[in-house]
Amino acid sequence: MPTVQVALGDRSYPVLVESGLLTRTHELLGQHGLSNRRIAIISDQTVASHHAKILSESFPEERPSLHTVPAGEASKSLSHAETLCREMILNGHDRRSLVIALGGGVVGDLAGFVASIFYRGIPFVQIPTTIVSQVDSSVGGKTGVNVAEGKNLLGAFHQPKLVIVDPATLATLPAREFHEGFAEAIKHAAIRDAQMLTDLLAIDPEKREVPADLLARNIAIKARVVEADEYETRDIRALLNFGHTIGHGIEASLPYGEMLHGEAIALGIRAALLISEKHSGLTPESSRKILDLLAHFNLPLRLSESIPTSTVMEKLTRDKKFKSGKIRFVTLSEIGKAQVIETVTREDLEAAIHHLRS
């Protein structure tokens, strides 16, 4: 099966990619030294209704405990994290337990955060069930929750022990949730792998079929960046934020869940392309290739007039990507080549947000 190793010394772990792996979870945990632990599955109510029974039945003896939250970004909160921790304590879990995060990016971030604080930290395994979580958020160890002031402002670096990617889980996704994840795959192509644009264009957006090797290529891009800059201290991991500065600002300007993460990132990518043309010499033809691919997956490219530029600016300036108040923005000089620059001004950001309304 396609396997990507995330090499981080004693925190290293494999990412396994193959259809049908969900039914082999118990076996895979044993193969990777994670047996003989009590298991707590954390999922959302929608994902659990599709996949929790299959996952639980892969364990031949003691069944894992199941802990669910409502589906949606609003569940990434301190209150839900506390509730999950208390449920696990009441269920008899302790520092010898293992958390399995079964779901998309929200579940992965929340369950990973719970694992990072429960009894001061216990191991966890990621089983991502959406495109965005399979190609991006399940790898890298970023966990966290949102607050009213912004996304992911509270959290911890806590690497998983294993990531199990089963492309078959994508079959249950509604069209909107399936499409939004491709914003992250397009981001990977834009910053590191120009050829991947062609490969992504070959995917039928109306089917739930994504080749395992294409998922693995995306994961490998994320893994190599994480290996080079695990804690985002060298501006290398920051390259993964292409499209996210303005994208997060847009997402945080709306009630959680009203716009999906990938939809906001698609708008953020369009804005970043405009800024890349001005500051880094990206050609309009290159921008058009990326925009056409976003449109191929039915991702939004226009920002509603109902979202004020001032609100987006307020939200994005609280983002972690600002360093001592200075704007650190990811641009492209060409497809496949990204860099972090500090010459972007507030006026550039405001102009790019305005551009999204055209």
pLDDT in tens, the chain (358 residues): 899 999 999 999 999 999 999 999 999 999 999 999 999 999 999 999 999 999 999 999 899 999 999 999 899 999 999 999 999 999 999 999 999 999 999 999 999 999 999 999 999 999 999 999 999 999 999 999 999 888 899 999 999 999 999 999 999 999 999 999 999 999 999 999 999 999 999 999 999 999 999 999 999 999 999 999 999 888 899 999 999 999 999 999 998 779 999 999 999 999 999 999 999 999 999 999 999 999 999 999 999 999 999 999 999 887 656 666 678 999 999 999 999 999 999 999 999 999 999 9
Closest CA to 222 of 165, 281, 295, 178: 165
In the set 80, 151, 248, 315, the catalytic residue is 248
Neighbours of 102 (CB within 10 A): 32
Question: Is 248 among the residues known to form the active site?
Answer: yes
Judging by DSSP bridges, how do beta strands 39-44 and 65-69 pair with one another?
parallel
Domain boundary at 145, 172, 199, which?
A: 172
Of 237, 270, 279, 315, catalytic: 237
Helices (H), 181-308: 182-192, 195-201, 212-228, 244-252, 261-280, 284-296
Burial tier of 207 (Cβ tally within 10 Å: 0-12, 13-18, 19+): exposed
- Whether residues 136 and 160 fall in one domain: yes
Catalytic-residue membership of 261: yes
Q: Is 50 a catalytic residue?
A: no
Annotated catalytic residue: which of 241, 263, 270, 279?
A: 241
Pick from 320, 325, 323, 329: nearest CA to 154: 320
Number of domains within the chain: 2
Same domain, 299 and 279: yes
Residue 62 C-beta-side C-alpha neighbours within 13 Å: 10
Helix, strand and coil content of the chain, in percent to the nearest 5, comes to 50, 20, 35
Amino acid 268 reads G
Verify whether residue 222 is a known catalytic residue. yes
Catalytic residue among 73, 184, 251, 263: 184
Q: Which helix (H) or strand (E) holds 342?
A: none
Q: Which listed residue (26, 67, 142, 187) is catalytic?
A: 142
Are residues 164 and 182 part of one domain? Answer: no
Does 142 participate in catalysis according to the annotation?
Answer: yes
CATH number at 90 reads: 3.40.50.1970
Domain check: are 272 and 338 in the same one? yes
Q: Tell me which of 51, 261, 270, 315 is the catalytic residue.
A: 261
Do 244 and 126 share a domain, yes or no?
no
Interatomic CA distance for residues 27 and 353, integer angstroms = 49
Domain boundary among 172, 190, 210: 172
Query: Domain ends where: 150, 172, 194?
Result: 172
Say whether 152 is catalytic.
no
Q: Where are the beta strands (DSSP E) in 89-216?
A: 98-103, 124-128, 142-147, 150-157, 162-165
Domain identity same for 65 and 143: yes
Closest CA to 184 of 294, 19, 320, 25: 294
Residues 264 and 184 in one domain: yes
Torsion angles phi and psi, residue 25, rounded to 5:
-60, -50
User: Which of the following is catalytic: 61, 62, 120, 326?
Assistant: 120
Same domain assignment for residues 143 and 220: no
Which residues constitute the domain of residue 282? Answer: 175-355
Q: Which of 93, 151, 192, 222 is catalytic?
A: 222
* Whole-number pLDDT of residue 324: 60
Which of these is catalytic: 192, 244, 279, 315? 244
- Looking at the structure, do residues 158 and 182 belong to the same domain, yes or no? no
Residues 55, 178: Cα–Cα separation, whole Å = 21
CATH code: domain of residue 217: 1.20.1090.10
Same domain, 181 and 163: no
234 and 186: one domain? Answer: yes
Clarify whether residues 256 and 137 are in a common domain: no
What pLDDT shows up at residue 325?
A: 65
